[in-house]
Structure 1
Amino acid sequence: MNKLENYSAPKDLLKDRVVLITGAGQGLGRAAALTYANYGATVILHGRKVKKLESVYDEIETIGKAQALIYPLDLEQAEEADFAVIAQAIEQQLGRLDGILHNAAFLHGLSPLENQSVEQWRAMLQVNLITPFALTKACLPLLKASPDASVVMTSSSHGHKPSAYWGGFTVAKAGVEALVKVQADEWESMPNLRINTIIPGIVNSPQRAKTHPGEIKQTMRQPEDLMTTYLYLMGPDSKGVSGQTVPCYTEY
């Protein structure tokens, strides 16, 4: 299921749907928020920095789409009760939830395992693995109530094929792929629920700039170039597809 080159999403693909996006303030999360809103969704913008979320909110307002909601939270410090509060707020304010894009990510930096600390690992596991599990669990009653709900996790080529120096980030992202397979199996008897993993690959993003600062951004794929896959997996056309790892590039 590479690239989905022949897929063309109808403009009302996400009409009347509510989608929560973590890490929505920049990069792929921002692109997904704008795309989902443009295709009819009411989006809930999660991030750590309110100013960035407000900027995305304003962009959605400018294009005349459904008013977004902003929910700031520092995932590194979040506890189970914080995720429950998010779910409660969504139910009270919108009454439904039809999708989650887990896009927030944290990479401390590239270094040998012997140089990585327990504190760094704890932060990377918390943001990249524990949060997707805990937030999905907290929102599960809302997702179950939806006639067609999709959860999309973001992994990494280094999580799919672990390699040196990526340490706790690689382990967390490998865990995401395992988590998706476990959850898909448990949801097998519930056809209104599905969960899949996206591997973005090399793309111009803040995380890529952190690990590869010398690259020329203009020659790279941009977040918007990947949105066909993000739309397909979030929208109803992917119904029946679950437990899959979908790359946004040909080989990995």
Structure 2
Amino acid sequence: MNYYNNYSPPENLLRNRVILITGAGQGLGRAAAIAFAKHGAVVILHGRTVKKLENVYDEIEALGKEQPVIYPLNLEKATENDYGLLAQAIAEQFGRLDGILHNAAFLHGPSPMESQTLEQWQALMQVNLIAPFALTKACLPLLKAAPDASIIMTASSHGHRPAAYWGGFSVAKAGIEALVKIQADEWGMLPNLRINALIPGVVNTPQRAKTHPGEIKKVLPQPDDLMPGYLFLMGSDSKAIKGEIIQCQAQH
């Protein structure tokens, strides 16, 4: 279901909000970081590659928006203590957290299940499923204290409709949908806390370029085209929407 058809977010939609974005160095994460900053948020830029995060930082600074913060962390190697330290750093610097966009992803190229290794599956589960769970759990005290906190999980069409050759990535993303449903059910009586998942679909990102190298990129929807949906779910206009798996339709 598309809850945000023709949605036009107000300029101050995310004013006075602190939002953490994982995988913010490129693609949809970068686009979301800039869009959230443009609408008033202080954004915490997470990623593995500091240089990419610095580039996004500079883009936001050049717009004259609230100064972002960079927090590099390799989710494939992260431990429970690492997530706790991240949450502690947010608490010490801001004293609050109003939202998380779980955008970081990891995948290998499509291949038959019989050729996929245990090490590949472990990495796929760690980054695509375990990290979103663990980071949300570590930040939960801050999120519960916020007057209106929103968590967006990035799902995938390959998890929503599993098919041949997507193996561990599909399993991890199917797990994200289950996680969202379970967590929303557990938080059902908390009016200030919600969780939903977005399925971006076909969009021109570096990840898509790796799995579909022959596509003509300029004819695909671009990350900025999807931002109305991200802004809608992160802002207060989506307060009543909880536990939904939403197909993100590009708006040109």
Does TM, normalized by the shorter one, top 0.5?
yes
Q: Runs of 5+ in structure 2 lacking a partner? A: none
Aligned residue pair count? 250
Q: Deviating runs (4+, > 4 A) in structure 1?
A: none
Residue of structure 1 equivalent to 2:153: 153
Residue of structure 1 equivalent to 2:59: 59
TM-superposed CA distance for 1:193, in Å, is: 0.2
Amino acid at match of 2:140: L
Residue of structure 2 equivalent to 1:211: 211
TM-superposed CA distance for 1:3, in Å, is: 6.8
Counterpart CA distance in 2 for 1:54 and 1:160 is: 33
Deviations 1:5-33 (A, max 9, x none): 22111000000000000000000000000
TM-superposed CA distance for 1:4, in Å, is: 2.2
Residue of structure 2 equivalent to 1:144: 144
Amino acid at match of 1:44: I
Q: Secondary structure at the match of 2:107?
A: coil
Amino acid at match of 1:33: A
The question of whether the paired residues in 2 share the 8 Å contact of 1:3 and 1:248 is answered with no
Residue of structure 1 equivalent to 2:86: 86
Residue of structure 2 equivalent to 1:126: 126
Q: Secondary structure at the match of 1:20?
A: strand
Q: TM-score, normalised by structure 1?
A: 0.98
Residue of structure 2 equivalent to 1:117: 117
Residue of structure 1 equivalent to 2:171: 171
Counterpart CA distance in 2 for 1:249 and 1:18 is: 26
Counterpart CA distance in 2 for 1:113 and 1:21 is: 31
Worse-matched range after superposition: 6-15 or 136-145: 6-15
Counterpart CA distance in 1 for 2:240 and 2:187 is: 11
Counterpart CA distance in 2 for 1:70 and 1:137 is: 20
Deviations 1:15-74 (A, max 9, x none): 000000000000000000000000000000000000000000000000000000000000
Q: In the alignment, is residue 194 of structure 1 matched against residue 185 of structure 2?
A: no
Deviations 1:212-243 (A, max 9, x none): 00001100000000000000000000001100
